[in-house]
Structure 1
């Protein structure tokens, strides 16, 4: 769940763009796309490969 705290003097446009960046960073759009649409074997392979690369970059091992 993504939460956004808006500062007193912050413009709405700025808050919306911060929210969009946070949603992309957390991966909500990718998860929605995966759930709503059929995933081809190639897409599934690329998604898993990306997760493997991401975990290697951040030093997580499985």
Structure 2
């Protein structure tokens, strides 16, 4: 799952960094890092998933 970026001709370091950040965001890497920053008990994870599914069902019902 390593993200690799090769420098294009005439590309500055800032542009490379911008491309890298966009790829990380697209892969969901930043969300994953934020989610794993603190330990989440399995019961809390199930509760969060349950709430998410209930809200999804309520949105589709309307």
TM-score using structure 2 length: 0.57
Counterparts of 1:24 and 1:37, CA distance in 2: 20
- Unpaired segments ≥5 residues, structure 1: 50-62
TM-superposed deviation, 1:34 = 1.4
Query: Deviating runs (4+, > 6 A) in structure 1?
Result: none
Q: Deviations over 1:7-59 (max 9, x none)?
A: 131111111100000000001111111111355644x454xx6xxxxxxxxxx
Residue in 1 that maps onto 2:33: 32
Tell me how many residue pairs correspond in the alignment. Answer: 46
TM-score using structure 1 length: 0.57
Q: Which has the larger radius of gyration?
A: 2
Residue in 1 that maps onto 2:60: none
- Unpaired segments ≥5 residues, structure 2: 54-62
RMSD: 2.1
Q: Indicate yes or no: 2:40 matched with 1:18.
A: no
